[in-house]
């Protein structure tokens, strides 16, 4: 196995288990043992409480529970609060990813956010779902699965509110099996029908709290994956977790997200065995991956295409900035093809080469200049398709679309705080600056020739030099990779 | 005898100059089929937001229609008559004229099994041509590129006139190219720094993601130059309406009349999501559609290209049969499609109008799977292997 330098190893870890780190952090990590750093990455800062990304309280919404009884004017207010709330939630989570001292938790949450893909127009439901995801992101997969399955957002999105003894609705049971646990081809249509019966009665009340409606539950006998009993929803989840296939399916997805697009069957088998044995402890699985020598094989280094959110957060973690209009980040996400809380479908974002086409790549290459030189945003993102909820509140998506339109041809105004970044290079002699900058921003730095960076650099001052070289390094295809 | 005609000469010329700045490994994709066989072009117009088909092609002899839409129904005397049974929305007078001259075909009751009422999901299904319980990450035009363009030179074979690319044009190996303005695309990709980056790139490992990115970048830069060059060779003198669709169809006309190798153009028009006050919004969008298409088809006729261009319109679903309480309609199912060309084999109304007697929970039931329309266009118009692209056999139709 080709061995890479310790510094590259630590940068690899920083990107895969987070959103990249700056030169001073990497320099510090380089001095320590792998085990120590992996522990630090897994556990986060000591005694750090989980900071929520909540943007609204249920009580902030006027008469929220009785939407149907409201006047048009009141409904309008509620819709506007929801629209604004989902935008705020998007921005709040991005800020959390950027500033977090426990980036793996946010990275892992981003993974689960795609895995448990869900769209809802209700800010509180969204907030509740992202809350349980972040809370359990590195915990036990069984707990996570249960919490997500009982979240109002998911029960609503997958129509389990309509799943009743007399009229079973199979949507929820189908997606729980196909997308959340086993993957296609490992269960029969009959298993779905029977599981749907077990999930009857699972729903939520006006407060958005999970309720088991006993009268609507079918308590008869069911046969699910060869097991027979008077099962309820909890039993189904347990049966699904008992299947080794669930461990294999989840591990494969984690491997593709954290290691490589092309699954390595032998590695996945061994990882998923341990995952299963551990009773689905996510942190243990991640430790296994990050501690393995194969994880640092040069074939995996810098071969993964950053998702749009990773790319944006990576830039913002490197160079702190504050946007005059934070919501601009939603337009960026839209152009690049990943809007938080708006996954493309129940299967989530496909990722990998799917992120890249001519227009998204050219925009990616221009982002550092657009932000750091305050250029005009002259790309019009496509509209977000609204959903028809029971309340008919599709209007809020139209408002987001209006907002996206208004960003067109506007200058991107951000206060860029270059000082800490430039400070990070204070010990580096001028002649090695270009190589050092490329060395920390890129995982395969040798590909960008120093001569090219020199050609486009501002050589007037040390500061100007660092800035221009940084922007140019960030504007390369190599920077799209981690 | 081999004749180096102007078309071929121009393309060889443009490729030669683009190839000079390519690293060695990238030159491979510059070879291959220069011009796809045939001269046929497909223009797809997406009516985004779920256009109300029942108020587009109006069953003006049907009492159920008027009973279900007491306020929203289009009156018999205002609809433009197509047949004894069906009329067309008064704002679509340009399409009525195309109908009269035999250049328009109407397909009714188009949809798919187990319809989904979510915009994004249903649009996904139309884009990918998957079944409604499948999730495909590539689109039907993208897979057309994969099938036809294996090893061929440019993603310019399918262009979307927009700033970002739709799923429909994303293949597994090949993707179409999105642009709103050839000049702007060319400016953006003409950045000297990007060209220098490309030139200094020396990596040769084709399996590495970085190669994929450089390949995409090189294709974009060379395509942008090629499109810009072709775009300059013809500038329409027609007076296109000053609407977004008008501008976009003008861009398409300019390219269709050039020697560019583009086979498929894709453009969106909308939004037709008319839950409230449908009448004004739909009429306004139809007027824009009608005016733009009138000038566009006129332009093609003058230049003897109307025989070779087929326009297809579609929407992700129709609306419900009954109007709602706010002067609009909610998400429904089956819908109609327009096919416009000087080369239609069958014109007029291709099949029966909506069957309002046999609704399913208040919704129209589809009779024609839209994938049959795709199969027909792919096979008979674009000479492609429809079964390979759609991954299944669908009945082909006889309008072309």
A259 Cβ under 8 Å from any chain B Cβ = no
Task: Count contacts between A and B (CB, < 8 Å).
Answer: 125
Contacts of B135 in chain A (CB under 8 A): 345-347
pLDDT the model gives residue A444: 84
Answer whether residue B37 is part of any domain: no
Beta carbons of B194 and A381 less than 8 Å apart = no
The domain of B79 spans 21-28+74-181+223-390
- Chain A interface test: which of B25, B114, B119 (most A C-beta within 10 Å): B119
CA B125/CA B110 separation, integer angstroms: 13
Query: A305 and B216 in contact (C-beta within 8 Å)?
Result: no
Q: Is the pLDDT of residue B6 over 80?
A: no
* Total number of residues shown for chain A: 482
In this complex, is the C-beta atom of B214 within 8 Å of any C-beta atom belonging to chain A? yes
| CA nearest to A383, candidates B250, B248, B123, B209 | B123
Among chain B residues, CA nearest to A175 = B133
- Any chain A CB within 8 A of the CB of B123? yes
Nearest CB to A345; choose among B135, B273, B331: B135
Distances, alpha carbon B353 to alpha carbons A224, B54, B97, B368, B370, in Å:
45, 9, 20, 12, 16
Per-residue pLDDT band at B29 (split at 50, 70, 90): very low
Could you tell me which chain B residue has the CA closest to the CA of A300?
B208
Q: B165 and A387: CB-CB below 8 Å? A: no
Query: Which residues 6+ apart lie within 8 Å of A154 measured at CB?
Result: A116, A118, A129, A148, A160, A172
Q: Which of A346, A358, A366 sits opposite B178 (nearest CB)?
A: A358
Regions of chain A where pLDDT drops below 70: 1-2, 48, 63-65, 386-396
Mean pLDDT of B53-81: 97
Comparing CB atoms, the residue among A304, A362, A448 nearest residue B188 is A362
The whole-number pLDDT of residue A403 equals 78
Q: Is residue B317 part of a domain?
A: yes
Looking at CA atoms only, how far is residue A262 from chain B in angstroms?
11
d(CA A16, CA A255): 11
Q: Testing the interface with A: which of B142, B164, B316 to mutate, by most A Cβ within 10 A? A: B164
pLDDT of res. B30: 41
Residue B140 lies in a domain: yes
Which residues in chain A have Cβ-Cβ distances shorter than 8 Å to B209? 303-305, 353, 481
Those of residues 175-204 in B touching chain A at CB distance below 8 A are 175-180, 184, 188-189, 193-194, 196-197, 200-203
We report the CATH number of the domain holding residue B346 as 3.40.720
Whether residue B347 has pLDDT greater than 50: yes
Q: pTM value? A: 0.89
Assess: ipTM above 0.85: yes
Closest C-alpha among B142, B391, B389 to residue A356: B142
For residue range A392-420, what is the model confidence (pLDDT) as tens digits? 456 667 777 787 778 777 788 889 999 99
Q: Which residues pair with A211 in a beta bridge?
A: A203
How high is the pLDDT of residue A446? Answer: 76
CA distances to A137, A179, A194, A232 from A236, in Å: 21, 15, 10, 7
CB-based contact B37:B214 (threshold 8 Å): no
Q: What is the mean pLDDT of residues B147-175?
A: 88
**B203 domain-assigned:** no
Please indicate, yes or no, if residue B69 is contained in any of the structural domains: no
Q: What are phi and psi of B265, to 5 degrees?
A: -115, 145
- Beta strands B264-269 and B41-47, pairing class: parallel
Lowest mean pLDDT among A405-419, B30-44, B327-341: B30-44
Domain count across chain B: 1
In angstroms, rounded to a whole number, what is the distance separating the alpha carbons of residues A360 and B160? 13
**Per-residue model confidence (pLDDT) at position B253:** 96
**Interface test with chain A among B167, B210, B269, B328, by most A beta carbons within 10 Å:** B210
In sequence order, the 6+-apart residues with CB closer than 8 A to the CB of B329 are B52, B72, B274, B275, B278, B319, B320, B322, B323
Q: Is residue B260 part of a domain?
A: yes
Name the residue with tokens 């060209």. B195
Contact B124 A382 (CB under 8 A): no
Cβ B326 vs Cβ B31: under 8 Å: no
- Residue found by looking up tokens 């002259």 in the block: A378
* pLDDT attached to residue A438: 96
- Cα separation, B264 vs B169, in Å, equals 9
Contact yes or no for B166/A382 (Cβ under 8 A): yes
- pLDDT given for residue A1 in this prediction: 67
Smallest CA–CA distance, residue A481 to chain B, in Å, is: 7
Q: Which residues of B touch A359 (CB under 8 A)?
A: 163-165, 177-179
pLDDT at B17 over 60: no
Tokens of B303: 């230049």
> What is the pLDDT, as a whole number, of residue B108?
98
**A70 Cβ neighbours under 8 A, 6+ residues apart:** A63, A78
Which letter does DSSP use for residue B163 in this model? S
DSSP string covering A66-126, please? GGGGS-HHHHHHHHHHHHHHHHHHHHHHHHHHHH-S-HHHHHHHHHHHHHT----S-HHHH
B223 lies within 8 A of chain A by CB: yes
Q: Summarize pLDDT for A271-312 with one digit per residue, the tens.
A: 999 999 999 999 999 999 999 999 999 999 999 999 999 999
Query: Which pLDDT score, from 0 to 100, does residue B2 have?
Result: 37
Q: Could A448 and B120 be called an inter-chain contact, meaning their C-beta atoms sit closer than 8 Å?
A: no
pLDDT for B113 beyond 80: yes
Q: pLDDT by residue (tens digit) across B245-262?
A: 999 999 999 999 998 999
A377, containing H or E segment: strand A376-377
Length in residues, chain B: 400
- Residue (of B124, B152, B127) closest to B141 by Cα position: B127
Question: What would the 3-class secondary structure string for B21-81 be?
Answer: CCCHHHHHHHCCCCCCCCCCEEEEEEECCCCCHHHCEECCCCHHHHHHCCCCCCCCCCCEE
pLDDT tens column, B361-398: 899 999 999 999 999 999 999 999 999 999 999 999 99
What the block records as the tokens of B208 is 């590495």
Per the prediction, chain B carries an average pLDDT of 89
Position B207 in a domain: no
- Alpha-carbon gap, residue B168 to B123, rounded angstroms: 9
Q: How do B348-349 and B104-111 pair as beta strands? A: parallel
pLDDT at B311 over 50: yes
> Which segments of B129-223 are extended strands (E)?
158-161, 177-179
DSSP per-residue string spanning A435-460: HHHHHHH-SSGGGS-HHHHHHHS--S
pLDDT given at position A350: 92
Nearest neighbour of A361 by CB, restricted to B121, B167, B220: B220
Q: What per-residue confidence (pLDDT) applies to A383?
A: 78
The CA distance from B120 to the nearest CA of chain A, in Å, is 5
Strand partners, A345: none
The pLDDT of B117-143, averaged and rounded, is: 92
- Grade residue B118 by pLDDT with cuts at 50, 70 and 90: confident
- Secondary structure of residue B299 in the 3-state scheme: helix
Is residue B187 included in any domain, yes or no? no
């Amino acid at each position: 196995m080709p061995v890479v330098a310790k510094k590259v190893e630590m940068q690899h870890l920083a990107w895969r288990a987070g959103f990249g780190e700056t030169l001073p952090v990497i320099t510090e990590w380089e001095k320590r043992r792998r085990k120590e750093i992996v522990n630090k990455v897994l556990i986060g800062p000591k005694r750090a409480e989980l900071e929520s990304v909540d943007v609204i309280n249920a009580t902030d919404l006027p008469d929220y529970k009785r939407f149907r009884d409201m006047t048009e004017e009141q409904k309008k207010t509620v819709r506007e609060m929801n629209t604004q709330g989902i935008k705020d939630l998007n921005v709040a989570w991005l800020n959390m990813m950027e500033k977090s001292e426990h980036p793996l938790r946010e990275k892992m949450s981003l993974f689960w956010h795609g895995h448990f893909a869900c769209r809802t127009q209700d800010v509180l439901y969204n907030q509740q779902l992202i809350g349980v995801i972040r809370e359990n992101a590195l915990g036990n997969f069984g707990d996570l699965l249960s919490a997500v399955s009982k979240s109002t957002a998911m029960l609503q999105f997958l129509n389990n509110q309509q799943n009743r003894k007399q009229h079973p609705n199979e949507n929820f049971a189908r997606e729980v099996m196909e997308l959340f646990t086993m993957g296609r081809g490992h269960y029969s249509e009959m298993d779905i029908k029977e599981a749907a019966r077990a999930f009857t009665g699972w729903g939520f009340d006006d407060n958005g709290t999970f309720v088991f409606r006993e009268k609507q539950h079918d308590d008869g006998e069911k046969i699910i994956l060869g097991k027979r009993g008077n099962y309820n929803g909890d039993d189904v989840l347990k049966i699904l977790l008992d299947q080794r296939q669930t461990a294999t399916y989840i591990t494969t997805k984690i491997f593709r997200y954290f290691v490589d697009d092309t699954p390595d069957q032998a590695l996945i088998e061994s990882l998923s065995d341990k995952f299963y044995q551990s009773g689905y402890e996510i942190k243990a699985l991640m430790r296994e991956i990050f501690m393995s020598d194969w994880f640092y094989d040069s074939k995996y280094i810098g071969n993964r295409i950053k998702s749009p959110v990773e790319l944006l957060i990576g830039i913002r973690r490197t160079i702190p900035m504050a946007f005059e209009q934070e919501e601009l980040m939603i337009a960026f996400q839209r152009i690049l093809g990943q809007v938080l809380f708006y996954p493309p479908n129940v299967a989530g974002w496909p990722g990998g080469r799917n992120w890249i086409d001519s227009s998204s790549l050219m925009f990616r290459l221009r982002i550092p200049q657009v932000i750091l030189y305050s250029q005009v945003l002259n790309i019009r993102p496509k509209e977000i398709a609204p959903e028809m909820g029971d309340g008919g509140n599709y209007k809020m998506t139209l408002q987001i679309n209006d907002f996206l339109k208004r960003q067109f041809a506007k200058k991107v105004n951000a206060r860029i705080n270059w000082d800490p970044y430039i400070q990070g290079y204070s010990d580096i002699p001028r002649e090695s600056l270009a190589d050092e900058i490329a060395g920390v921003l890129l995982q395969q730095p040798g590909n960008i020739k120093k001569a090219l960076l020199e050609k486009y650099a501002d050589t007037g001052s040390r500061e100007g030099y660092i800035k221009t070289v940084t922007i140019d390094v960030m504007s390369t295809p190599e920077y799209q990779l981690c | 005898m081999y004749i180096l005609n102007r078309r071929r000469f121009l393309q060889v010329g443009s490729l030669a100059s683009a190839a000079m700045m390519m690293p060695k490994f990238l030159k491979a994709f510059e070879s291959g089929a220069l011009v796809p066989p045939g001269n046929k072009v497909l223009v797809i117009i997406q009516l985004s937001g779920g256009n109300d088909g029942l108020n587009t092609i109006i069953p003006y002899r049907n009492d159920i229609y008027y009973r279900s839409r007491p306020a929203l129904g289009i009156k018999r005397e205002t609809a433009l008559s197509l047949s004894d049974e069906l009329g067309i929305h008064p704002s679509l007078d340009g399409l009525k004229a195309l109908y009269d001259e035999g250049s328009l075909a109407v397909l009714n009751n188009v949809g798919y099994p187990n319809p989904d009422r979510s915009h994004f999901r249903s649009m996904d299904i139309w884009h990918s041509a998957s079944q409604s319980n499948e999730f495909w990450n590539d689109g039907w035009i993208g897979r057309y590129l994969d099938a036809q363009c294996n090893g061929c030179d440019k993603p310019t074979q399918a262009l979307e006139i927009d700033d970002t690319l739709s799923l429909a044009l994303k293949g597994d190996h090949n993707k179409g190219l999105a642009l709103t303005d050839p000049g702007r695309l060319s400016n953006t990709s003409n950045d000297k720094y990007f060209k220098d980056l490309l030139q200094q790139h020396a990596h040769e490992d084709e399996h590495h993601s970085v190669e994929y990115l450089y390949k995409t970048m090189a294709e974009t830069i060379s395509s942008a130059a090629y499109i810009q060059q072709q775009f300059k060779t013809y500038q329409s003198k027609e007076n296109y309406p000053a609407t977004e669709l008008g501008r976009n169809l003008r861009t398409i006309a300019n390219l269709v009349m050039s020697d560019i190798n583009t086979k498929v153009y894709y453009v969106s028009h909308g939004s037709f999501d008319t839950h409230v006050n449908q009448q004004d919004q739909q009429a306004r969008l139809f007027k824009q559609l009608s005016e733009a298409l009138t000038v566009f088809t006129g332009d093609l006729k003058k230049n003897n290209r109307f025989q070779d261009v087929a326009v297809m319109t579609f929407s992700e679903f129709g609306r419900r049969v009954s109007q709602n309480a706010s002067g609009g309609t909610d998400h429904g199912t089956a819908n109609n499609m327009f096919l416009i060309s000087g080369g239609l084999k069958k014109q007029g109304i291709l099949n029966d109008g909506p069957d309002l007697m046999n609704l399913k929970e208040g919704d129209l039931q589809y009779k024609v799977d839209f994938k049959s329309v795709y199969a027909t266009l792919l096979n008979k118009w674009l000479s492609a292997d429809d079964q390979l692209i759609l991954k299944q056999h669908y009945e082909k139709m006889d309008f072309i």
